[in-house]
Homo-oligomer: A and B are copies of this chain.
Amino acid sequence: MKRHAVGILIFDEVEVLDFAGPFEVFSRTRLVPGADSRRNDDSAPFDVFTVARTRDVVKAIGGLRVVPDYAWGHAPLIDILVIPGGFGTRALLKDSPTIEWIREAAASASQVTSVCTGALLLAKAGLLTGRRATTHWAGLDLLAALDPTIQIERGLRVVSDVVVTSAGVSAGIDMAFTIVENLCGRAVADETARYIEYPRAVTAV
């Protein structure tokens, strides 16, 4: 089975649940239901990894320290690109190499996604132009200011346009389930939600 490569960008001051929620969902999805199928990767449809500018330890918000799996340029080709948020995005908005890396990774990905204020970076990279999108409630106005062509969706948890964006932090879990459902079907998404005991509340629109 060819697995979908899920590349999650991490950086200093990334919000923990923004990257850990999608990491959990994608890495625990199995095409075979039950607890036993989670003991190995035999029926895993996703290969999930973190990627950062370098392999230096990333210090997330709250101080959690994560070792990136890959540095830019050494990562496998990414099918599903996940851009999480956090206060660290504010500095990255002015960081051309990051914006350029996102643009290039997005160009070769089959699906681009964001969690929370990760959408700000996608907007800066020009990936949300003319699209419907959302972000954390505290970032909605900045998202609109970065690209006035974006149709801001203020009441939705997950927004499925060509790019799939989500609202703040925990909404990234719902975003990931939306992608799982799109690629693997509703039954697989719901069974994985049952495995991690997450009450899926929303369907993306």
Is A48 an interface position by the 8 A CB rule?
A: yes
What is the size category of the interface that chain A forms with chain B? 35 or more
Residue interface bits A1-24, CB-to-B below 8 A is 1, else 0: 000000000000001110011011
Is A101 an interface position by the 8 A CB rule?
A: no
Cα distance, A35 to B15, chains bound together (Å): 13
Instruction: Please tell me if the beta carbons of B69 and A63 are within 8 angstroms of each other in the complex.
Output: yes
- Report whether over half of chain A's contact residues are helix, strand or loop; otherwise say mixed: mixed
Q: Name the residue on B nearest A48 (C-beta).
A: B62
Instruction: Please tell me if the beta carbons of A20 and B16 are within 8 angstroms of each other in the complex.
Output: yes
Chain B residues, CB < 8 A from A137: 197
Nearest-CB distance from A150 to chain B (Å)? 19
Cα distance, A62 to B195, chains bound together (Å): 15
Is A124 an interface position by the 8 A CB rule?
A: no
Chain B residues, CB < 8 A from A169: 24, 195-198
Q: Which A111-138 residues have C-beta < 8 A from chain B?
A: 136-138
Contact of A170 among B23, B27, B173 (CB under 8 A): B173
Residue interface bits A182-205, CB-to-B below 8 A is 1, else 0: 000000000000011111010000
Please name the 9 residue pairs, one residue from A and one from B, whose CB atoms are nearest each other, closest first.
Answer: A27-B62, A20-B20, A35-B138, A168-B197, A169-B196, A17-B24, A65-B67, A170-B198, A16-B24
Q: Given A20-B20, A67-B66, decide whether A28 and B61 contact each other with a Cβ distance below 8 A.
A: yes
Chain B residues, CB < 8 A from A197: 136-137, 157, 167-171
Chain B residues, CB < 8 A from A71: none
Residue interface bits A25-43, CB-to-B below 8 A is 1, else 0: 0011000000100110000
Q: Given A169-B24, A173-B170, decide whether A57 and B62 contact each other with a Cβ distance below 8 A.
A: no
Q: Given A168-B195, A168-B196, decide whether A66 and B64 contact each other with a Cβ distance below 8 A.
A: yes
Cα distance, A61 to B171, chains bound together (Å): 21
